[in-house]
Amino acid sequence: MVPKVDEAENLARMERGELYYAFTPQLIAERQRCTRILGRLNRAGDLSRREIAEYWKDNNVVNLSDRLTKDDRPLPPPAATDEEEDAVLHEYPWIERPIRMDYGYNVAVGSNVFININCTIIDTCKVYIGSRTLVGPNVSFFSGTHPLDPDLRNGTNGPELGKPITIGSDCWIAGNVIILPGVTVGDGCTVGAGSVVTKIERKFKAEQDALKDKSAAPES
């Protein structure tokens, strides 16, 4: 049985990456809320770019706590053509369904992000995907983890923890990649298909500049 905890403090511990209990009434309800919203999105038929953005923001809800994400930017007025709609909605992600998340409100994305089919985001802690980043099919972002001590882990009755994930701008995360807790992928990086990523911090452009400097150096 999960011990009685202060729900507000438990949530704060989760977001700080400290040990917390996932199977409390509040967090169970939060995951059910996210599942309910994503279920509507995943079951919907053909959707326009605007309709996907509306699901992402869930603009139609009365209670703001029922929104999928914390993105409260107002959508721009509808444009005259599909091409113009694409341009005015570039701030919002293009999502190929299905997509799965635990909470939704710990996920944030930059502008013009593409997320391909079967993306899984375990957003125990914040998961950020930078602008113009492309996410391939079957990619998983796992910001949550469990204690290694089985006695402490204790099934669903024990505590869990997590670490944030940050994906820089202009990245390409190819298909079937798994991003583990605490990973930072630098701007412009490409992560090859099927990779399990434990740590990347370098920026592609910084590496390119270093190569240019090396090639420009006079021969000794």
Greater pLDDT, 139 or 86: 139
185 in a structural domain:
yes
Is the separation of the CB atoms in 34 and 103 below 8 Å? yes
62 in a structural domain:
yes
Q: With a cut of 50, say whether residue 4 has pLDDT above it.
A: yes
111 in a structural domain:
yes
Q: With a cut of 50, say whether residue 157 has pLDDT above it.
A: yes
1 in a structural domain:
no
In the predicted model, what is the mean pLDDT of the chain?
A: 89
Residue 1 burial class via C-beta count within 10 angstroms: exposed 0-12, middle 13-18, buried 19 and up: exposed
Model confidence, pTM: 0.88
pLDDT in tens, 71-95: 777 888 999 988 898 888 988 899 9
Q: Which residue type does 196 have?
A: V
Q: What is the CATH number of the domain that holds 52?
A: 2.160.10.10
pLDDT in tens, 99-131: 999 999 999 999 999 999 999 999 999 999 999
The encoded tokens of residue 192 equal 């090859």
Name the percent of the chain lying above pLDDT 70. 88
- State the pLDDT at residue 62: 41
| CA of residue 186 relative to chain centroid, distance | 16
Instruction: Tell me if residue 90 is catalytic.
Output: no
What is the domain range of residue 194? 7-216
163 in a structural domain:
yes
Cα angle: 214, vertex 219, 220; to 5 degrees: 120
51 in a structural domain:
yes
| Segment among 77-81, 162-166, 174-178 with least mean pLDDT | 77-81
Instruction: Catalytic residue, from 33, 90, 126, 146: name it.
Output: 146
Residues in Cβ contact with 149 at an 8 Å cutoff, skipping those fewer than 6 apart: none
Quote the number of domains for the chain.
Answer: 1
Greater pLDDT, 62 or 60: 60
* Alpha-carbon span 90 to 185, nearest angstrom: 22
- State the pLDDT at residue 197: 97
* Alpha-carbon span 68 to 56, nearest angstrom: 6
Q: With a cut of 70, say whether residue 205 has pLDDT above it.
A: no
2 in a structural domain:
no
**Mean predicted confidence (pLDDT) in 179-185:** 97
Tokens 């996907």 locate to 52
